[in-house]
Amino acid sequence: MTPYLSVIIPCYNEEDNFARGSLTLVLDYLNNQKFAWEVILVNDGSTDQTQQLLDKFAKKHQKVRVISNPHMGKAATVISGALAAMGEIILFTDMDQATPISELEKILPKFSQGCDIVIGSRANREGAPMFRQILATGMVVLRAMILRLPFKDTQCGFKAFSSAASKRIFTVMHTINPPKEIQGPAVNPGFDVELLYLGRKLGYKIAEVPVAWRYQESRRVSFVKDAIAGITGLLLVRYRAMTQKYGF
């Protein structure tokens, strides 16, 4: 049976999240739904025991499969999962479940209303460090100025796509920037911006829905590095658009 929903979860050194039972919470929720579903866990070349934990988990749950990649960063990890997904709706969400899977209830109805892409928007950032709130506010202004993106929150790791929109957008992104092996953590802040820019340019209807979110401490976040990477990502998308790298 073709699943209605594919859930893509990128994984990089996730031993702590395994210990917290994040995946069990995801499956507990999905098992209570009436639609068919699959979960695709994409290992991004983890250096801890994540691969073994994923394999063990998938053996216990027939609707779960694992993709094992070399370390290429979150963007390549999500793209590889999305291109392998078989669902009518494709969601990617973070392993730490900062936005819980139950927020899907706010997302799915939008597709029956004609939307092609639905993105979670963190209604508030309570608990987040001040530097992250400042960075988020600054990026809203820059996104509007450089790319004319009207969204309040492009970076929330809770986004869903129709199968057609997912395949088209992520195929373009995979072609433009073929994945390559890297060293060290990579958050890829330009990834979310680019996929939404492409979604608008391709004429897809996009909805932004407020979702619950709780701050999760991450060693992968750096104010200076993320600010530079965010601005660089915006300028790169603008450059690719101006030089017709996207083919339209």
- Predicted confidence band at 128 (pLDDT cuts at 50, 70, 90)? low
The answer to whether residues 40 and 79 touch, using CB atoms and an 8 Å cutoff, is no
- pTM equals 0.90
- Say what the pLDDT of residue 23 is: 97
Mean pLDDT of 156-168: 97
Which range, of 12-21, 85-94, 145-154, averages the lowest pLDDT?
145-154
Q: Is the pLDDT of residue 243 over 80?
A: yes
Contacts of 129 (CB under 8 A, 6+ apart): 215
Measured between alpha carbons, how far is 189 from 58 in angstroms, rounded to an integer?
29
The domain limits of the chain are: 5-127+154-182+191-214
pLDDT, greater one: 228 or 40:
40
Contacts of 37 (CB under 8 A, 6+ apart): 3, 4, 5, 6, 7, 30, 63, 87
Measured between alpha carbons, how far is 129 from 78 in angstroms, rounded to an integer?
26
The mean pLDDT of the chain is 90
- Say what the pLDDT of residue 95 is: 96
Measured between alpha carbons, how far is 61 from 82 in angstroms, rounded to an integer?
20
Per-residue DSSP letter, 159: E
CATH fold, domain 5-127+154-182+191-214, is: Spore Coat Polysaccharide Biosynthesis Protein SpsA; Chain A (3.90.550)
Which range, of 68-72, 120-124, 182-186, 230-234, averages the lowest pLDDT?
182-186
Measured between alpha carbons, how far is 113 from 62 in angstroms, rounded to an integer?
32
- Say what the pLDDT of residue 220 is: 53
Measured between alpha carbons, how far is 159 from 150 in angstroms, rounded to an integer?
16
